Amino acid sequence: MAQGSLSEEEAEEVWTADLHLVGRSPGGAPVYLVVEAALTIDAAEVHRAARRAALLGRTGIPALGVVAGARITVDGERAARDREVWRVLDGRAYPPGTPVGAGAA
């Protein structure tokens, strides 16, 4: 499939994310955040955030997958590491690869 196009089903999946935000990269370019939120984040939320961000990215729009909640399961943490998904836990942001409790932004 060519860059810039999603099927109707894929577009619907992107827009059913819990939250969409637009921020800026350190260089000032716009970046879209595709967020899945739950009280307890598990691997399913992580996979949804990653897939929806990847779909949006296929259109040429820079996008990051993000999960947000009060806590994350061991499987959710592993999935976030593997899928390079940001975590926002109890109000603290953790970049991909950063252990929870270390280097919070």
61-91 pLDDT tens trace: 999 999 999 999 999 999 999 999 999 999 9
Q: Would you say residue 104 has pLDDT above 70?
A: no
Structural domain harbouring 13? 8-89
34 or 101, greater pLDDT: 34
| Full-model pTM | 0.88
Query: For residue 94, is it within any domain?
Result: no
In the block, residue with structure tokens 């390079």: 84
Residue 103 in domain: no
- Give the separation between CA 98 and CA 84, rounded to whole angstroms: 10
- In the prediction, which pLDDT does 61 show? 93
Q: Over range 3-15, report the average pLDDT.
A: 89
Whole-angstrom Cα distance, residue 87 to residue 68?
6
In a domain, 41, yes or no: yes
Report, in angstroms and rounded to the nearest whole number, the Rg of the chain calculated over CA atoms. 13
Number of folded domains that form the chain = 1
